[in-house]
Amino acid sequence: MRPYDAFLLISFGGPEGEDEVIPFLENVTRGRNIPRERLAEVGEHYFLFGGVSPINQQCRDLLAAITTDFDANGIDLPIYWGNRFWEPMLTDTLAQMKKDGIRRVLALPTSAYCNWSSRTAYHEDIERALAGLGEDAPEVDLIRPFYDHPGFIEPLVEYTQASLDKLPADQREGVRLLFSAHSIPSAMAEASGPPGHGFGPEGAYGAQLAEAARLVVERLDRAYPYELVYQSRSGPPSQPWLEPDVNDRMEELAEEGVPAVVVIPHGFVSDHMEVKFDLDVEARDTAKKLGIGYERALSPGTHPAFVSMVTELVREYTGRGEEHKLASLPPCAGGSGQCCKQR
Ligand SMILES: CC1=C(CCC(=O)O)c2cc3nc(cc4[nH]c(cc5[nH]c(cc1n2)c(C)c5CCC(=O)O)c(CCC(=O)O)c4C)C(CCC(=O)O)=C3C
Ligand SMILES: [Fe+2]
């Protein structure tokens, strides 16, 4: 087992003021094939909230909870935080860690699933940052995908049940659960664990999303009908991305007479902008227009079980605890060390 001398939370980052929105979006989309109109549109989502994404505060809250939980469990690793696209930037954090004499880093990404955007991109950003640090740069291990960890599933069960309980009895009777994740290009999904590795056309990403949804539903008070939907698509319209879009699917369901939906953003770990705008504003508005009931389950955030999961994962990697996995899907095509290499 490897000894570690620090824990590092790696997240996406988000703007915290109106003047930060465009520079942030420029960081995210550098070298990417995203139409200008889409960028302007996404910028408006942030301006609607005063230019403040909730993601950084959610990271601070999670870090505070982790600090307390590490203390309570005798884990004496110093805790650091770095983002891929906004301050505190991962590059600066790793430079500081080197200055502090840190050699071995155990890092947790704030994404639970396998795909290029959620895994490989993190590996690439870490490698790029370390390359700039010269000879005795720290070594960084990225904690495995945790989509089926009991500490990830339990909050989703509790929050889905709470949303169901808010629906009037007649709506709850015919409700459809919609498990929502970030859409990605179909080619990226396929590359996350291609056919031949035991996955369907939506790759390891689609299989893991389906498995996590199943794990949540089998723990509810009864067997509600449920399905996977996708949200927050970008890219040119000519490029295929994972479907159906949550709004399109709600339209079809309303036509079929489904009286209400509960949307569970199980593709995310906190209620950041993709949840606050794309679900709480846009999808809710769609439901209102369609005249159907709508509830949105919370994401794990700082739920105690999710915080404990971080401690358990650290134990797993330091040889002081066992692996907690509810699913038995094959590993993604990228292999065990660096998953989801392909793009
Ligand atoms: C799988 C996935 C997750 C979930 C897991 C993970 O974290 O990996 C995620 C999370 C997030 N995505 C976020 C924001 C954005 N994502 C964008 C663009 C893209 N996301 C993609 C995928 C994902 N994204 C992809 C394939 C693109 C196209 C460009 C590319 O191929 O890389 C763009 C550009 C504009 C647009 O196109 O929407 C923005 C602004 C925020 C921050 C929210 C906040 O500020 O609160 C978070 C947590
Ligand atoms: Fe994204």
pLDDT digits (tens, 9 = 90+) for 144-183: 999 999 999 999 999 999 999 999 999 999 999 999 999 9
Give the residue ranges of DSSP H helices in the chain. 21-29, 36-47, 55-72, 90-99, 121-131, 150-166, 169-173, 186-191, 203-217, 246-255, 273-276, 284-290, 304-317
- Residue 178 structure tokens: 């919609």
Which atom of ligand 1 lies closest to the CA of 185? 26
**Strand partners for 9:** 81, 108
Q: How far is the CA of 182 from the centre of ligand 2 (A)?
A: 7
Mean pLDDT confidence for 310-329:
93
Measured over all CA atoms, what is the biggest interatomic distance in the chain, rounded to whole angstroms? 65
pLDDT at 37: 86
- Closest of 63, 81, 97, 102 to residue 12, by C-alpha: 81
Task: Give the CATH number of domain 150-296; options: 3.40.50.1820, 3.40.50.1400, 3.40.50.9100, 2.120.10.30.
Answer: 3.40.50.1400
Going by pLDDT thresholds of 50, 70 and 90, the confidence category of residue 340 is: low
Going by pLDDT thresholds of 50, 70 and 90, the confidence category of residue 336 is: very low
The reply, when asked if residue 274 is annotated as ligand binding, is yes
- Residue 235 structure tokens: 């890219």
122 neighbors 142 (Cβ within 8 angstroms): yes
Under 8 Å CB-to-CB from 222, ≥6 apart: which residues?
Answer: none
What length is written for the chain? 343
- Indicate whether 335 pLDDT > 70: no
Decide whether any atom of ligand 1 lies within 6 Å of the 234 Cβ: yes
- The pTM for the full model equals 0.96
- Indicate whether 245 pLDDT > 50: yes
Under 8 Å CB-to-CB from 155, ≥6 apart: which residues?
Answer: 298, 299, 300, 301, 303, 305, 306
- Indicate whether 13 pLDDT > 60: yes
Decide whether any atom of ligand 1 lies within 6 Å of the 34 Cβ: yes
Q: Please report the ipTM that was assigned to this predicted complex.
A: 0.94
Q: Which ligand is nearest to the CA of 25?
A: 1
Mean pLDDT confidence for 224-252:
96
pLDDT digits (tens, 9 = 90+) for 30-84: 988 788 888 899 999 999 999 999 999 999 999 999 999 999 999 999 999 999 9
Q: Which fold has domain 6-146+303-317?
A: Rossmann fold (3.40.50)
pLDDT at 1: 52
pLDDT at 200: 87
> What sign does the CA torsion over 52, 54, 59, 64 have?
positive
pLDDT at 217: 98
153 neighbors 118 (Cβ within 8 angstroms): no
Mean pLDDT confidence for 305-310:
98
Q: Are strands 226-231 and 79-83 parallel, antiparallel or unpaired?
A: unpaired
Residues of the chain with CATH 3.40.50.1400: 6-146+303-317, 150-296
- Residue 202 structure tokens: 């939506």
